[in-house]
Structure 1
Amino acid sequence: MYDAYVCLQDKKPQNTWGGTFAHGEWRTRDLNEKQADPNHICHLEANQFVLAPGTYRANISCPANRVDHH
């Protein structure tokens, strides 16, 4: 069904603090690593990504730990 995929990550060293969080606020993730891009369809730079022209399906996950609400 799909012939290409990309996996981007907010990757930090182990035991690195992720920042503050207050209820109802938006957070910008630090997209800083391409874990996978076998077909070279994504350009990642300065926390922004650009995909090659096409139609895409997105599966986005933003896990958090010990923030009381998520």
Structure 2
Amino acid sequence: MQHTLPSCQTALTQGRYRWRQYTVLKELADILERERRKTRPTNKKAVPTIKFVKEGQTAKKARTAATSIRDESER
């Protein structure tokens, strides 16, 4: 049990505590870097803009994009 606790002078003087911590940190850094470099699909949807209208004015009707031929024929 003495060797697992920070009171072990042999492990402390040999630098094993820091080595173990740095090894764990390096492994975590490698995993995080691999995850950061992964290419991910961009599913950014267009955010509709808000058209503000001054008081007393009327808003212009926005034209919606046609999604099919049938939608175009109904206009």
| TM-score band, normalised by shorter chain | under 0.3
Which TM-score applies when normalising by structure 1? 0.25
Q: Which has the higher strand share?
A: 1
